[in-house]
Amino acid sequence: MKYYFIVATKDFLFREEPLEEVLRERASYYQSQQKSNDFWIVPNPNFINKYSEEFKKFLPPSFESVVSVVSTDKDFIYWLKLRYQNVASGHFNAPTNNILSPLAYN
C-alpha cells in the first residue's frame, strides 16, 4: 500500500502551526460522512531513516524531535504541504523489507 506523509519538527507542527485544529476538523468531517480515518500522527517515525539524507537540511540531526502525518490520501497530504509549506513531504510503500510498518516509531 502507498503512504504519503509530511514531516517537520514537533515544535513547528504543534506550537507554531494549528495542526491539531486541522486534524480535529478532518476527523469530525470523516465522522459526519461515516468514513474511517486514513491519517495518523507518527512521532519519531521509523520510515524517516529511509529519507535521512534527503531531509538533513530540513530536520534536526536527531530525528527524535520530528513528527509526521501519514495518510493513504495523496490529496490530503498535498494540501497539508501547501498549507504548512515549511514541511518535507514524500511517499513510500509498506510493508516492505525496508519499512515493515508504516506507523512504526522510535
Cα dihedral 54, 45, 80, 86, rounded to 10, equals -50
Q: Is residue 99 situated within a structural domain?
A: no
Q: Is residue 87 situated within a structural domain?
A: yes
Domain hosting residue 53, numbered range: 2-93
Q: Is residue 92 a contact partner of residue 47, using CB atoms and an 8 Å limit? A: yes
Q: Is residue 102 situated within a structural domain?
A: no
SS3 60: coil
Contacts of 41 (CB under 8 A, 6+ apart): 23, 67, 68, 69
Using the Cα atoms of residue 8, residue 12, residue 13 and residue 18 in order, give the sign of their dihedral: negative
pTM above 0.85, yes or no: yes
Q: What is the pLDDT of residue 12?
A: 92
Given a cut of 90, is residue 39 above it in pLDDT?
yes
Q: Is the peptide bond before 43 cis (omega within 30 degrees of 0)?
A: no
Nearest to 80 by CA among 11, 1, 13, 10: 13
Q: How many domains does the chain have?
A: 1
Q: Is residue 49 situated within a structural domain?
A: yes
Most confident among 6-10, 38-42, 86-90 (mean pLDDT): 38-42
Q: Is residue 106 situated within a structural domain?
A: no
Given a cut of 70, is residue 61 above it in pLDDT?
no
Q: Is residue 105 situated within a structural domain?
A: no
Q: Is residue 27 situated within a structural domain?
A: yes
The pLDDT of 76-87, averaged and rounded, is: 94
Q: Is residue 103 situated within a structural domain?
A: no
The pLDDT of 38-57, averaged and rounded, is: 84
* CATH for 37: 3.30.70.1860
